[in-house]
């Protein structure tokens, strides 16, 4: 599924390009731009892969693998932002690094404020004061916190025998999560914060992927069911506002997994999963290209430039951080045990 996740990451870059370049929100459906729908695709695939991983590994091993898959590259991304992207942006806009370390919020505050995956600090000093989308160095990282919460939910659920035995518990939890999202306006009435809202916006997609795992694990992938699943998911997404995407999640997961089984991917992409790095580096690259005026050449050129530069950073992240981190934790696992990884 590396190819599909890379396509989804590229879709996020495409969607973000419009408002980072000051060109509006770009293509959207039901008030959600294409980036939001690509994130939904990420979460349904993640729900499938992570559920499979949890049911095939011990609790401690699973948690270690999940931390090492997501956190080292995340931490390096924060450091690259304060050591490369932000200083370069200040040089481009002001001609010097004067005040970089001391102007609040400082680079240290940016790293420290975001260490726990929950993004609470988006800007660094005055480094992005002059761009169309100011004071935000990485508007993509916020989803990682909620993805890791989903990892923890499956970590707990996977320890219970009743969850492992059939699709019913996962399906029940999925339906309940959709009901919560369909009535999310009640959260405001009860005074629940934005994190609650965002979690239940994304949780149904993840649980939908978990439901798809149980179905596929027991019955495999059927071509007719795969085609029908794609049709049903697209219909629900297009014609049912608010909660149509969430209720479509199991069908979307099945459909994407069906496509991944019939559409070949280049061997280079199959061996090297740069989708996570592409996702976490796209936004800061886009901001930097805007600073040098790349967006003035037109959206096609701007997007093309950012795709190439982001791919370079993503490849470096894969080879220097992600791949070594995963290999380090897998050295202790039995060779016959299957492996599932996810961004």
- CA proximity to 234, closest of 58, 29, 19: 29
* Tokens describing residue 200: 């239940």
Q: How confident is the model at residue 337 (pLDDT cuts 50, 70, 90)?
A: very low
Position 340 pLDDT exceeds 60: no
Are 272 and 318 spatial neighbours (Cβ–Cβ below 8 Å)?
yes
Mean pLDDT for all residues in the chain? 94
The three-class DSSP label of residue 198 is helix
Mean pLDDT of the 243-266 span: 96
Instruction: Find the helix packing angle between 168-182 and 194-219, rounded to 10°.
Output: 150
- CA proximity to 276, closest of 51, 10, 17: 10
Position 335 pLDDT exceeds 50: no
Mean pLDDT of the 131-150 span: 97
**pLDDT value of position 142:** 97
- What kind and span of H or E run contains 151? helix 142-157
**pLDDT value of position 333:** 59
- Peptide bond preceding 105 in cis form (omega within 30 of 0): yes
Domain extents for the chain? 2-330
The three-class DSSP label of residue 1 is coil
Give residue-wise pLDDT tens across range 56-79: 999 999 999 999 999 999 999 999
Mean pLDDT of the 161-172 span: 96
- Concatenating the DSSP letter of every residue in 205-238 gives HHHHHHHHHHHHHHH---HHHHHHHHHHHHHHHH
The three-class DSSP label of residue 137 is coil
Position 339 pLDDT exceeds 90: no
Q: How confident is the model at residue 190 (pLDDT cuts 50, 70, 90)?
A: confident
Give residue-wise pLDDT tens across range 260-296: 999 999 999 999 999 999 999 999 999 999 999 999 9
Mean pLDDT of the 339-343 span: 37
- Concatenating the DSSP letter of every residue in 45-106 gives HHHHHHHHHHHHS-HHHHHHHHHHHHHHHHHHHHHHIIIIIHHHHHHHHHSS-TTTTTSSSP
Position 34 pLDDT exceeds 90: yes
Give residue-wise pLDDT tens across range 201-225: 999 999 999 999 999 999 999 999 9
Q: How confident is the model at residue 332 (pLDDT cuts 50, 70, 90)?
A: low
For the chain, what percent of residues have pLDDT higher than 90? 92
Strands 28-29 and 32-33: antiparallel
CA dist 122 and 105 (Å) reads 9
Are 1 and 49 spatial neighbours (Cβ–Cβ below 8 Å)?
yes
């Amino acid at each position: 599924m590396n190819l599909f996740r890379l396509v989804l990451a590229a879709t996020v870059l495409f969607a973000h390009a419009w408002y980072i370049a000051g060109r509006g929100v770009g293509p959207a459906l039901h008030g959600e731009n294409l980036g939001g729908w690509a994130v939904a695709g990420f979460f349904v695939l993640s729900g499938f892969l992570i559920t499979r991983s949890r049911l095939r590994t011990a609790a401690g091993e699973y948690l270690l693998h999940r931390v090492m898959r997501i956190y080292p590259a995340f931490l390096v991304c924060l450091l690259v932002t304060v050591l490369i992207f932000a200083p370069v942006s200040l040089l481009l806009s002001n001609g010097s690094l004067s005040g970089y370390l001391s102007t609040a919020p400082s680079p240290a505050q940016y790293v420290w404020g975001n260490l726990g995956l929950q993004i609470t600090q988006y800007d660094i000093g005055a480094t992005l004061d002059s761009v169309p989308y100011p004071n935000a160095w990485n508007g993509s990282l916020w989803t990682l916190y909620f993805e890791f919460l989903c990892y923890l939910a499956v970590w707990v659920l996977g320890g219970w025998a009743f969850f492992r035995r059939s699709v019913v518990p996962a399906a029940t939890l999925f339906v309940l999560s959709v009901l919560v999202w369909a009535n999310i306006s009640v959260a405001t009435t009860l005074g629940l914060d934005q994190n609650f809202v965002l979690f239940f916006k994304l949780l149904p997609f993840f649980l939908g992927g978990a439901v798809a795992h149980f179905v596929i694990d027991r019955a495999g992938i059927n071509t007719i069911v795969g085609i029908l699943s794609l049709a049903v998911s697209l219909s629900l997404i297009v014609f049912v506002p608010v909660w149509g995407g969430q209720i479509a999640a199991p069908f979307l997961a099945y459909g994407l997994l069906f496509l991944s089984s019939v559409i070949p991917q280049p061997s280079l992409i199959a061996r090297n999963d740069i989708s996570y790095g592409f996702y976490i580096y796209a936004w800061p690259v886009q901001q930097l290209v805007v600073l040098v005026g790349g967006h003035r050449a037109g959206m096609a050129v701007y997007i093309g430039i950012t795709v190439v530069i982001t791919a370079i950073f993503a490849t470096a992240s894969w080879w220097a951080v992600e791949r070594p981190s995963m290999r380090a934790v897998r050295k202790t696992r039995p060779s016959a045990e299957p492996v599932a990884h996810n961004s």
